[in-house]
Amino acid sequence: MDDDRETQKIHHETSPLVGDVVPKKGADGAGEADSQDREATFKDDVLDTLHLAGPIFVSRVSWVGMKSTDTALLGHTSGDALSAAALSDLYTMCTAVLIQGRVLGILVGQTCGADNRHLAVVYLRISVAVLSALAVPVAISWAYTEDVWTWMGQPGDVAGMAGYYSRVFILAIPAQMIYSQLSQYLTAQRVMRPEVVTSSAGLAANLVLGLVLVLGWPIPGFVGFGFAACPIVTVVVVYIQLCILGYYFVKTEHAKPPIEGTLANDNTLSHWTSGFTWTRFQTFSQLYFPAALALSSDFWRMGLIGAIAAKIGEREVGLFNASYSSVSGATGIKLGLRLGKNQAKQARQAAEVGVVLCVVLLVLLSGIVYCNIRSFGAIFTSDESYLDLFEEVRFPFTCVLFFMNLSVGIERIPMSLGRTGDVFWAGFVASWFGQVPAVFFLVEYWRNDLYALYTGIGIGYAFLTILYSWMAYSSDFEHYCELAQIRAEAK
C-alpha cells in the first residue's frame, strides 16, 4: 500500500493529471483505480485535453521559438545566410525524416494503458537501436549537401554555406534522436514537466548564445561570428537539452518501483538488450517504417516544392523556409492510454474532442495571423522586400497554415490507432496526386510567384484533411482496441 501511494505521488508531481479523469478518494475507501473506471464525459475530456495541451503547448512554442530565433538571426546576418540555411533544411529534411517517425509514443501509451510498463521500456530500447542504425546513412547523406545544390545550379558561395550548415548539424543527430525517444516515452505516460523544462531552457539558451556569438550583442566592439556560429549554437543547445531531459528520465525511472531491464537501474549490455525479440522488432517496425515513409513523402514533396520556390527567386526560398500542435499531441496521449485500457467508446470521444478543439483554435489563430501578417514577418527579417512578400501572399499563406495544422491534428487519430500504413498511403495520394500537380500547374500556367505556390500547397493540404477526416470517422475503435491489447501483450 505504501508503494502504491508513493507511485501515485510521483505521477501527480510529474504530470498534469494522473489518469483520464482526476482521481478522487471515495467514501468507501476506493482509490485511483475505481476513479479511473468512471467514464469521462465530453466536458471531462475537453478539460483534460486542454490540461494536457498546456504543457505540450509550452514545449511546441519553445521549439517554434528556437526555429524562429535561428531564422531571425540568419535574416539579420545576410540574405545569403538565410537562403543557405533554407537550402540546407530543404535537403537535409529529405533524409532526416527517416529517423523522425514518432511511433514510440503509440506503443508506450498502449503498453502503459494495459499496465505493462516493462514492455514500454523494452520498446524504448528497441526504438533507440533501430534509429541508431538508420542514423548512419542519414549522416552520410548530409555530408553531400554542397555537391547536391551545386549540381542543381545554385551559386557556389550559397551552396558552400549550405554544405557547411549541414555538416555541423551532423553532430546533432545522436542527441536529437535520443532526445526524441526519451520525450515520447515520458509524455506518452502523461509525464509532461521534463519536456517543458528542457524546451524552455533550450529556447533561452538558443536566444542568449545566438545574440552573443552570432550578432555580438551586447558586448561593445564585438560583432559576433556571424553565419559560422549559427549551426554551432543550435548543436550546443540540443546537447544541453538532452542532458537536462536525461537527468529527468533517470530521476523519474529511479522514483518508480524497479522493474527488470530499466535503463536507469542496470546499464550492462545484457540487461539493455533483455526483452529484445524478433516479434517485438516486427511490431515496432510495422508501425515505424510506414510512419517514416509517410513523413518522408511529405518532406520530399515539400523539398520539390521548395526547389520550385528556389527557381522563382532567392528571396522566395528564404521566405518559404521561414513559414515553416498541442491539442493533437494531447489527443494522441489520451487515445494511446485508452486503447491500452480497452476503452473503445472513450477513445472515440477523446478523438472527437481533439478535432473540435483543433478547429476552434485554428480558426482563431489563423485570423490573428491574417490580420497581423507583416508583424509576424518582421520576426524573421527586417528586409522590406521580404515583408512586402508576406503581405502579398497573406490569404493563401493563412489557408496553408490552417489546413496544414488541421491535417496534422486529425492525422494523430489514425496514427494513434496504429494505422500508420493507411496514413502513408493517404499522404502519398494527397501529396503526389494533389499538392505537387496543383503547385506545378498553378506556377507554370497561372502566375509564377509565391501566391500561386501557396495556393497549390493549400489545395493539397485541404485534400489531405478530407482524407484523414474520413479515415478517423470510419475507424472501428473496438477493432483497434483489440489490436492495442495484442501489441501490449495483454492478450
DSSP classification of residue 211: I
87-118 burial by CB neighbour count: b if 16+ within 10 A, else e?
Answer: bbbbbbbbbbbbbbbbbbbbbbbbbbbbebbe
Is position 22 within any domain? no
Is position 384 within any domain? yes
Is position 66 within any domain? yes
For residue 155, give its domain range: 43-487
Is position 85 within any domain? yes
Q: According to the model, what pLDDT value does residue 75 have?
A: 77
Smallest CA-to-CA distance from 46 within 340, 334, 344, 325 is with 334
How many other CB atoms are found less than 10 A from the CB of residue 313? Answer: 15
Q: How many domains does the chain have?
A: 1
Measured distance CA(177)–CA(199) in Å, rounded: 15
Q: What amino acid occupies position 166?
A: S
Is position 8 within any domain? no
Is position 423 within any domain? yes
Please, what is the angle between helix 79-96 and helix 117-142, to 10°?
130
What phi and psi values does residue 467 have, to the nearest 5 degrees? Answer: -65, -45
Q: According to the model, what pLDDT value does residue 1 have?
A: 40
Is position 55 within any domain? yes
Is position 425 within any domain? yes
Give this prediction's pTM. Answer: 0.78
On whether the CB atoms of residues 284 and 128 are closer than 8 A, the answer is: no
DSSP classification of residue 114: T
The radius of gyration of the chain's CA atoms, rounded to the nearest angstrom, is 23
Measured distance CA(83)–CA(317) in Å, rounded: 7
Measured distance CA(333)–CA(59) in Å, rounded: 15
Render each residue's pLDDT in the chain as its tens digit; 491 residues.
444 443 344 343 344 433 333 333 333 333 333 334 467 788 888 888 888 878 887 887 787 778 778 877 887 787 788 888 888 887 888 788 888 888 999 999 999 888 888 899 999 999 999 999 999 999 999 999 999 999 988 888 889 999 999 999 999 999 999 999 999 999 998 888 898 899 999 999 999 999 999 888 888 888 888 888 999 999 999 999 999 999 989 887 766 665 554 444 445 455 677 888 999 999 999 999 998 888 777 766 665 666 555 554 444 444 443 333 566 677 778 888 888 888 888 889 888 898 898 888 888 888 887 888 777 777 656 667 777 777 888 898 888 888 888 888 898 899 889 898 999 899 889 888 988 899 889 988 898 888 888 899 899 989 999 999 999 999 999 999 988 888 888 75
**194, three cell numbers:** 521534463
Write out the DSSP string of 419-450: -HHHHHHHHHHHIIIIIHHHHHHHHHHT-SSH
| Burial class of residue 134, CB neighbours in 10 A (0-12, 13-18, 19+) | middle
Q: What angle do CA 86, 242, 176 make, to 5 degrees?
A: 35
Measured distance CA(357)–CA(290) in Å, rounded: 27
Q: According to the model, what pLDDT value does residue 233 have?
A: 94
Q: According to the model, what pLDDT value does residue 205 have?
A: 93
Q: According to the model, what pLDDT value does residue 292 have?
A: 86
